[in-house]
């Protein structure tokens, strides 16, 4: 059962949009069953009741084994709310846990509705926000133990996710957060202020991406960094691709890898592939974009012919009436063309055309305005 956001806009005093679309509520005791019904109704979630509980004339799934039911549900719901003992819930969850980037949010509520515990995936899964929302609805106390929240420090993993920054290494969040908790100043290279931390008192601006821990580097490059350096890659690289007809996906992917690696660019910063309209039906190009899970943008001749080309191609001129394909396609994508209502972005051609057997590659960089500052204590 999906969450009805409009019907419960004021569930918590916080926006109901904090709660995931799909919520599972579990109740195990007669005393906790009314609270389970209340939470399932308020969240629009599915209710799961122990088979031993009395019938209540309401739609609910009955289970004989909580661990079995949770194992079946775990990846199907974004939020799990247990009206149960914390230790019991921990034992059920333990075999199912994989990663904080993929595990769903889990809350535990005592059957008297006094406390709402954020148990799992407090940041990326949203459990901390959900705990606050559910606690406000119940008039309960939210129990949040995440250190950065308690100290009112920036949650770097949440900021990175919300600003679409991809970590080079998930494990690098921990030492940088530990440095902040210890009151250390953290170096920050973020020329476009994507994190909005440029004026935060605990961050010291770095003019260049110097990997000296503790530090946070926002960069499209792929520097080697020691422990204590968090590297976040923004999606700012746009690869323009020219290719012969019926070129398979693998040569395209290999050409992309070689181009990025030769210029020291991070593959995580690749935002989209682009080409000319004439290549719209090329299966290899479509498969390459699918393999990278990236958008594939095609541009008409009228857009591409107005953009600069460093190395004109007689073949492209003969076949398409264009001086080149890969360079103007990369620049057009990086600039945000051709949508007339889209704001134009500054673009720089980082990698001029590189020739490979049957494929040409160029890469452009998009520059964007800085993110707004986050509130912080002076």
- Report the candidate in 366, 372, 78, 145 with the shortest Cα–Cα distance to residue 238: 366
What average pLDDT does this structure show over 179-205? 87
Structure confidence by residue, pLDDT tens digits, 175-188: 888 888 888 888 99
Average confidence score pLDDT of the chain: 84
Check whether 318 has a pLDDT greater than 80: no
Please report the pLDDT score of residue 226 as a whole number.
83
Q: Structure pTM?
A: 0.69
CA distances from 276 to 130, 248, 305, 307, 319 (A): 45, 17, 10, 13, 12
Please report the pLDDT score of residue 378 as a whole number.
36
CA distance 360 to 52: 66
Please report the pLDDT score of residue 151 as a whole number.
63
Structure confidence by residue, pLDDT tens digits, 38-59: 999 888 889 999 999 888 766 8
Confidence label for 146 from pLDDT (cuts 50, 70 and 90): confident
Confidence label for 236 from pLDDT (cuts 50, 70 and 90): very high
Check whether 1 has a pLDDT greater than 50: no
What average pLDDT does this structure show over 152-156? 77
Q: What are phi and psi of 29, to 5 degrees?
A: -125, 160
Confidence label for 305 from pLDDT (cuts 50, 70 and 90): confident
Confidence label for 18 from pLDDT (cuts 50, 70 and 90): low
Please report the pLDDT score of residue 7 as a whole number.
30
Please report the pLDDT score of residue 246 as a whole number.
93
User: Residue 125 corresponds to which tokens in the numbers above?
Assistant: 């899964």
């Amino acid at each position: 059962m999906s969450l009805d956001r409009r019907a419960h806009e004021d569930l918590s005093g916080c926006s109901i949009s904090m709660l995931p679309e799909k919520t599972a509520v579990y109740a195990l005791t007669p005393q906790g069953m009314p609270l389970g019904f209340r939470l399932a109704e308020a969240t629009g979630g599915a209710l799961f009741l122990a088979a031993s509980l009395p019938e209540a004339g309401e739609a609910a799934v009955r289970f004989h084994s909580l661990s079995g039911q949770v194992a079946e549900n775990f990846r199907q719901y974004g939020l799990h709310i247990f009206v149960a003992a914390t230790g019991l819930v921990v034992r059920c969850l333990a075999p199912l846990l994989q990663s904080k980037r993929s595990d769903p949010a889990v809350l535990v509520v005592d059957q008297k509705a006094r406390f709402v515990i954020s148990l799992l995936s407090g940041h990326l899964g949203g459990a901390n926000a959900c705990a606050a929302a559910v606690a406000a609805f119940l008039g309960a106390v939210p129990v949040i133990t995440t250190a950065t929240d308690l100290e009112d420090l920036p949650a770097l993993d949440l900021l990175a996710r919300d600003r679409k920054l991809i970590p080079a290494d998930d494990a690098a969040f921990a030492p940088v957060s530990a440095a902040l908790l210890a009151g250390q100043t953290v170096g920050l290279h973020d020329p476009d202020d994507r994190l909005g931390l440029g004026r935060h008192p605990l961050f010291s601006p770095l003019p260049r991406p110097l990997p000296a821990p503790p530090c946070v580097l926002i960069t499209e490059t792929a520097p080697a960094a020691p422990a204590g350096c968090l590297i976040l890659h923004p999606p700012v690289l746009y690869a323009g691709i020219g290719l012969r007809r019926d070129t398979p996906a693998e040569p395209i992917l290999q050409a992309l890898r070689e181009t990025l690696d030769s210029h020291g660019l991070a593959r995580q910063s690749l935002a989209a592939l682009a080409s000319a309209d004439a290549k719209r039906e090329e299966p290899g190009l479509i498969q390459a974009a699918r393999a990278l899970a990236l958008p594939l943008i095609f541009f008409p001749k009228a857009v591409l012919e107005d953009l600069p080309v460093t190395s004109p191609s007689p073949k492209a001129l003969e076949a398409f009436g264009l001086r080149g394909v890969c360079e103007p396609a990369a620049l057009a994508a990086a600039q945000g063309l051709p949508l007339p209502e889209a704001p134009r972005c500054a673009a720089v051609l980082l990698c001029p055309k590189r020739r490979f057997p049957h494929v040409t590659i160029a890469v452009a960089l998009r520059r964007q305005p800085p993110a707004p500052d986050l509130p912080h204590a002076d």
